[in-house]
Chain A
Amino acid sequence: MTSKNENIQTFQIKDCAILNIATAVRAQNLKELMDQLATIHPESIYYHFWANKLRPDFEKPEYNNDFATWAYKNLHNNKLAESLSLINPGMFSNIEELRSKLVEVIESTLQQDPSIVSSKESEQFQFTRADMILFNSEFSVSKPEELTQLIPILPLGSIYFHFIESKNGSEDINTFVSNAGDIYSELSVQLSTLDPYFFTLTELQSRASKIFKDFFQGAKT
């Protein structure tokens, strides 16, 4: 086993905030949703899968993306909501593949039941996208061990940025861990099992904290 500890770089923790953008593109029924999905800005599809995690909520959302939630709440189509919610964006290599899958699921639903159920006019699906602004935080670490104390107190914007927005990139926490040396390879494996799609940011923070705590406490004993 080799260690690259001596080469470890400082990992700067960042925070982020999003600025929502209205596309002024809307859908009131499933057919409209499908038609708009075919051409909507790719950032809007990304937004409706991930940015909901930055929205404050009092309860864990029933479904994992905005398309499924709208089908459930506003079209009262639970079957479709379940099918849409099962579409895990992490399983697609790009947004266009994800777009095709969404259209395919909706098209199949419309083929089985072509009747048009509309939402109330005031509850149309509003296609939205966002620009992101990054902030420096007061935190930086040079070793993965230091994250054990830090992750539980990070703002949720930092959790979003380092676990979701930077997934597999240089600012992904797991990239930092895996680059820190072979002694952390098991920690990296455990972090890679975390699929953020299924968690709220608070849950993700809590799961990640537990993985770090278990790894380093286990290492001590």
Chain B
Amino acid sequence: MSELLRAYAKVAGQDAVSKLQQLAAPMKGKKFVHVNSTRVGGGVAEILIKMVPLMNELGIDTSWEVITGEDKFYQCTKSMHNALQGDPVDITDDLLKAYEETNLRNAEELRPVLEEADYVIIHDPQPAPLLSLCPNRKGKWVWRCHIDASKPHPPVWNYLSQYVKDYDASYFSLADYAQQLPHTQYLIPPSIDPLSEKNMDLDQSEIESVYEEFDLDRSRPIMLQVSRYDRFKDPIGVIEAYKFVKASMPEIQLVLAGGGATDDPEGEEVLREVRESAGNDPDIHILLLPPDAHVTINALQRTSDIILQKSLKEGFGLTVTEAMWKGKPVIGGNTGGIRLQIVNHHTGFLVDTPEGAALRIQDLLQNPDKMEEIGKNAKEYVRENFLNTRHLREILSLFTILDNQSKT
């Protein structure tokens, strides 16, 4: 067994790696391609950065292709993302034209790789039309929707589904997100990589370096939310919760740590709103981190006492998984994939309002034993359910099932 697989076995268990090897054996040497729209920033890129080498280590010839576009393309796909999450956004014909042309241009470049591949996963709406642009494809194609599409804006879903319906299968994080489609819709939650810079164990000195770097007082409690500056992540709601807590616990500090994804044009506007809401409070630290600040985020999560992910909509919420993996109690918005991870009162708390978040923060800070117990539960829950070994096992299972269906 290679060093990498041994490292995974050490964290996730030998059994988890043995299952991956069994599933990968018939796929050895076959070509597997992932396609998405950004190589850095956002949950999809983070998953693929670690999953692609793991798949290669298992003997599957795996590559990761990224489609590129201009401003109008990203405006269109951001609107599409918001519309799938339920915003009644209508997308102009001009933007849809940019979407189609961008996919056509990318298809010209990627067609040889994609048509030759045995297995293809197209991530999210951005590259969804590629299937229709690869008429001589020989492999199995699966569309992966990372978004909470439980109540999509109908005109946008109707437009997108014309591209999605012809895939061999699709998969979603939760049953709520599945739509009426003519193929099988599997349920595969995403995952974190326990060996990545964002999740690996750190030296105490690395952890403590963030106190100085961000002017945090190590003697006072810290609450943290790590997320892009996006309205659906409700950073303003987090500031409101902080203000409620501050009224009775003036020692509390808040860190909002975010960055931008290259496919998110709204980030700067939301960041302005967040700064406005924070005012001049010296205990609110608004950080704009580069996309590769993985060790910094890891250290911030480990130094914080309580972690929030107070999203109003959340496809899954990998920051929740990351925090739980570090044994931290997480207070999450009662929505989407957060509900799959937080077993209320056991691995964290689910809340619907800033007031609810404030209540749980105060409750936890008053009860260190409870914090420890919830943190311990949370870590084990992630080990069993949300590491990338489980995630890859399910992806390989899906393609095994598709292969078997073709044989019968």
Binding site for B on A (CB under 8 A): 15, 17, 19-24, 56-58, 122, 124, 126, 128, 131, 133, 135-136, 138, 155
Contacts and interface: CB of A to CB of B under 8 A. Distances in A.
A136 B22 contact: yes
Given A21-B185, A58-B343, A15 B178 contact: no
Q: Chain A binding site: helix, strand, loop or mixed by DSSP?
A: strand
B119 to A, nearest CB: 15
B13 to A, nearest CB: 9
A6 B244 CA distance: 75
B394 interface: yes
A20 B19 contact: no
Given A58-B377, A128-B187, A24 B397 contact: no
Interface residues of B, number: 33
Contacts of B335: 122
Nearest to B181: A24
Contacts of B163: none
A22 B172 contact: yes
A24 B185 contact: yes
Contact of A21 (B19, B179, B186, B385): B186
Interface string B142-176: 00000000100000000000000000000010011
B398 interface: yes
Contacts of B180: 24
B384 A22 contact: no
A24 B183 CA distance: 11
Contact of B175 (A22, A133, A138): A22
Given A17-B397, A19-B398, A135 B19 contact: yes
Interface string B11-24: 00001001100110
27 contacts: A15-B15, A15-B19, A17-B19, A19-B401, A20-B187, A20-B188, A21-B184, A21-B187, A22-B177, A22-B178, A22-B185, A24-B179, A24-B180, A24-B181, A24-B185, A56-B384, A56-B385, A57-B343, A58-B377, A124-B176, A126-B175, A131-B397, A133-B23, A133-B397, A133-B401, A135-B19, A135-B22
B186 A19 contact: yes
Contacts of B186: 19-22
A128 B15 CA distance: 27
Contacts of A22: 172, 175, 177-178, 185-187
B22 A58 contact: no
Contacts of B23: 133
Given A21-B187, A24-B185, A131-B401, A122 B19 contact: no
B386 to A, nearest CB: 11
Contacts of A20: 175, 186-188
A126 B186 CA distance: 13
B176 A56 contact: no
Contacts of A126: 175-176
Quick one: which of A15, A22, A58, A136 has the most chain B CB within 10 A? Answer: A22
Interface in B343-362: 343, 346-347
Nearest to A131: B401
A26 to B, nearest CB: 8
A66 to B, nearest CB: 11
